[in-house]
Structure 1
């Protein structure tokens, strides 16, 4: 079968023929419907090396941690899954028996350091291929919803949803304001989730005009980048600041921007993993304002994301690529040339 393989550090992936996998006990073989290309993939093959990467990410393996597909073959002991049914794949794979994993919170697995991989597509063969094998536990039913457009939701939907869900107490009640910094794949979905789940006024900011246009279409008030960016955001809130902010970039300037517009008793969640740092001061931080971070989400969260998708509350912006064009999807992702989330459809005719 054809697959996009990460073969060496600091090396662009290759498109090659590999053996079709076979499901083991407790696993399911999926015929891949769609696989999303994510900036995390780029970081793995472009930025990391042996000295800086978790050992579980060492090559080689098939990329792709945003996956959907149809059940093709069941491994030993798997029951309750009908062949041909469509599923979204929960990517993280923990030990399965620690406290965090018992909550479906595999991203915070207590035994992650001893696991041979972190997730499907992150240390273990992912979905940038014609077929993928995943644990049956990690399959979330899609019903009759379109599995191709759903693929990015396993990260670009789940990650903002988990961050927003944790912040809902800050947005409960009238007159609340939410800020979304960075309107890439995750930020665009975040605007939709905030609009659907809260009555808050959603403020969104990005350096790209087309990204802000799409955010406005989903109900956000947008503020363009510039020296008076923070002042404009505060003006929208009547000078009080925002009650919850979500930074989907994670560099020092974006963290500083969000921090500068927080209200008393607010919550800032840094979601983007760009490694930015922030200097905290008692005298410049609003009282009882929380600065935190999150990583991915839980299996339960993904069920709720799928429910929102099926209800039409989340509509991912996607750009479709055939398997033979998968490397072009990654090239465009690196170059910032994508208008939506790149989704590779392995069984689409070239």
Structure 2
């Protein structure tokens, strides 16, 4: 089968031929219908050798959807022909967090060598994908896999960050979204769907600010040195009750630190390498800082329900598997509007 693999440190990913995998006991094989690209992929491919921990060669793609193609011995819960999406943050299935469906916070995954597909385990940028357990498959039913595969990360991650702040997103509150790209434009839609907060979006790209307005932002400002003053002015000097930073660089974290309200919350979602100190004389009184990771299985079900009801729609650019290396080049250059999705079997 074909697979898009990262094969050596510092090199571009390439499409190669590898053996088609067979599902082991309890495993499920999918014929991949869609696989999403993510900035996390470009982040790991940019790591130096001493920091890279994901194994080589690595088949990329931690956002995946497919048709159940073959069941391993003892696999239950799905049937051949089912259209499903993959819940990516795999855990042990037995610890306290996993028992609650919060496998994104599994306490045993690292010690047991359990890794998400595309982030250690073979990913979805291939003709076929092995999923370790059917509990990591969420029914898509009537949802289009290409239009919705990105929700497994670009929807789940902001949803998880937002629902943990619902107590602060009351009527009259303000939520700031820094970065209106792949995750940010979905976050704006989720905020619009499940809260009554006023939504302010920041970005350095005017096209992405236009997308933010299109999907529901009340106000948009350039993400520059004037952004803090603009947010303070828009909130009567109070600041934002919650700031969601989907970039995570030092300049964006500085904006978050200076624009959050007292007793507010900063959610650092982006992995841009910035660091935000917190405490007296650093952040406003009562303000907290959190770095949420992915989301729970039940939250992913809820995200798909929002999509079924038309509240969330990902702006997608489609690519074939052979075009995937170019898609990553564009993602790195910041020229993808919304989310890039690879369709391995473009002709069905």
TM-score category (smaller protein): over 0.9
Q: Residue 224 of structure 1 aligns with which residue?
A: 222
Distance change in 2, residues 1:279/1:78 (3 Å): closer
Q: CA deviation at 1:277?
A: 1.4
**TM-score under structure 2 length normalisation:** 0.96
Q: Residue 11 of structure 2 aligns with which residue?
A: 11
Deviations, residues 103-160 of structure 1 (Å, cap 9, x unaligned): 2222222123223342011111110001101121100111111111111111111110
Whether the aligned pair in 2 keeps the contact of 1:34 and 1:343 (CA below 8 Å) is yes
> How far apart, CA to CA, are the structure 2 residues paired with 1:146 and 1:280?
42
Q: Residue 143 of structure 1 aligns with which residue?
A: 141
Whether the aligned pair in 1 keeps the contact of 2:92 and 2:114 (CA below 8 Å) is no
Q: Residue 184 of structure 1 aligns with which residue?
A: 181
Whether the aligned pair in 2 keeps the contact of 1:11 and 1:46 (CA below 8 Å) is no
> How far apart, CA to CA, are the structure 2 residues paired with 1:132 and 1:295?
23
Following TM superposition, where does structure 1 have runs of at least 4 consecutive aligned residues deviating by more than 4 angstroms? none
Whether the aligned pair in 2 keeps the contact of 1:12 and 1:46 (CA below 8 Å) is no
Q: CA deviation at 1:259?
A: 1.2
Aligned length, in residue pairs: 346
Whether the aligned pair in 1 keeps the contact of 2:3 and 2:15 (CA below 8 Å) is yes
> How far apart, CA to CA, are the structure 2 residues paired with 1:81 and 1:280?
46
Counterpart among 67, 70, 74 of residue 71 in structure 2? 74
Q: Residue 80 of structure 2 aligns with which residue?
A: 83
Aligned-pair RMSD on alpha carbons? 1.5
Q: Residue 53 of structure 1 aligns with which residue?
A: 52
Gaps of 5+ in 1: none
Distance change in 2, residues 1:17/1:8 (3 Å): same
Gaps of 5+ in 2: none
> How far apart, CA to CA, are the structure 2 residues paired with 1:70 and 1:277?
41
> How far apart, CA to CA, are the structure 1 residues paired with 2:58 and 2:24?
18
Deviations, residues 6-60 of structure 1 (Å, cap 9, x unaligned): 21222211101111111112211111111001111112222242x2133xx1212
Any residues of structure 2 matched to 1:102-181 within 5 Å, and which?
A: 102-134=99-131, 135-172=133-170, 174-181=171-178
> How far apart, CA to CA, are the structure 2 residues paired with 1:346 and 1:287?
51
Q: Residue 59 of structure 2 aligns with which residue?
A: 62
> How far apart, CA to CA, are the structure 1 residues paired with 2:52 and 2:106?
18
Whether the aligned pair in 1 keeps the contact of 2:185 and 2:338 (CA below 8 Å) is no
Counterpart among 203, 208, 212 of residue 206 in structure 1? 203
